[in-house]
């Protein structure tokens, strides 16, 4: 973390752009593999979405299939959001967005298993939510079932658990801040102000994000491929 200040001649917008440009340079120089993983997630979103749209039934699928909706309206925008938030130093939100994508992927995939293929995608998702409420099915149970459907056992559940415990709840975020203060004497950038320029002390969390994105991409690939086989 490197302290940033806005000069009297610089607007807040210019300050944001400057910090993002500095972080882009830092990531390319100090965390190239992690930065590549973020960009490859965007490329996955583009490739999967184009493939879905190009299908003869692509437009109809968007209306009827939750997975088509997920690819175009969740995966695409949020993969770009992670890139943007990474450049501003907003790491907690990157992890939260990844968790949202994982939950959305699991629900969309499971909802797409509904036997009535003519239902509107939103109806299928609503029916899944109703079933989860009625049967008291937790998100962790859904992740476990999702993993079994893909033949991945507990991989989706394990990733969801790590994202939830470490980044989605105050306890995890507070622990991360305290741990970095104890080990490196500097708080992470998101504990002070956003945007903020990265420093060497932030590489652990950046690389952790890279690992989680890689795990998500593997799950995403399995889900997309198995979904293609089924339609």
The string of pLDDT tens digits covering residues 85-137 is 999 999 999 999 999 999 999 999 999 999 888 899 999 999 999 999 999 99
Residue 62 is predicted with a pLDDT of: 66
Q: In terms of pTM, does the model score above 0.85?
A: yes
**Would you give the DSSP letter of residue 100?**
H
pLDDT 10s digits, 148-181: 999 999 999 999 999 998 887 667 677 777 777 7
Question: Is residue 3 predicted with pLDDT exceeding 60?
Answer: no
Residue 61 is predicted with a pLDDT of: 66
| Neighbour count for residue 223 (Cβ, 10 Å) | 23
* pLDDT confidence tier of residue 64, bands split at 50, 70 and 90: confident
Instruction: Give the residue among 114, 53, 41 at the shortest CA–CA distance from 82.
Output: 41
- What is d(CA 66, CA 70) in angstroms, rounded to the nearest whole number? 6
Residue 6 is predicted with a pLDDT of: 57
Query: SS3 for 59?
Result: helix
46-112-125 Cα angle (round to 5):
95
- What is d(CA 89, CA 92) in angstroms, rounded to the nearest whole number? 9
197 forms beta bridges with: 2
Task: Return left, alpha or beta for 90; rule: phi > 0 is left, psi -120 to 50 is alpha, else beta.
Answer: beta
Residue 7: burial class (beta carbons within 10 Å; 0-12, 13-18, 19+): exposed
| Neighbour count for residue 14 (Cβ, 10 Å) | 12
* pLDDT confidence tier of residue 60, bands split at 50, 70 and 90: low
């Amino acid at each position: 973390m490197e302290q940033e200040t806005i000069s009297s001649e610089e607007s807040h917008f210019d300050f944001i752009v400057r910090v993002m440009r500095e972080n882009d340079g830092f990531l390319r120089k100090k965390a190239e593999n992690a930065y590549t993983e973020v960009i490859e997630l965007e490329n996955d979103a583009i490739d999967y979405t184009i493939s879905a749209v190009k299908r003869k039934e692509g437009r109809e699928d968007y209306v009827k299939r939750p997975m088509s909706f997920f690819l175009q309206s969740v995966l695409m925008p949020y993969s770009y959001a992670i890139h943007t938030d990474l450049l501003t130093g907003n790491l907690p939100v990157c992890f939260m967005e990844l968790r949202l994508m994982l939950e959305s992927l699991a629900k969309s995939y499971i909802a797409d298993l509904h036997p009535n293929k003519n239902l509107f995608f939103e109806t299928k998702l609503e029916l899944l939510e109703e079933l989860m409420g009625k049967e008291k099915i937790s998100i962790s149970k859904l992740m476990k079932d999702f993993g079994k459907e893909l033949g991945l056992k507990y991989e989706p559940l394990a990733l969801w658990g790590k994202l939830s415990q470490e980044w989605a709840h105050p306890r995890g975020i507070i622990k991360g801040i305290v741990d970095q203060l104890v080990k490196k004497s500097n708080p992470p950038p998101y504990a002070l102000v956003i945007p903020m320029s990265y420093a060497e002390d932030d590489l652990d969390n950046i690389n952790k994000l890279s690992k989680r994105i890689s795990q998500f991409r593997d799950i995403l690939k399995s889900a997309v491929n198995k979904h293609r086989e089924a339609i």
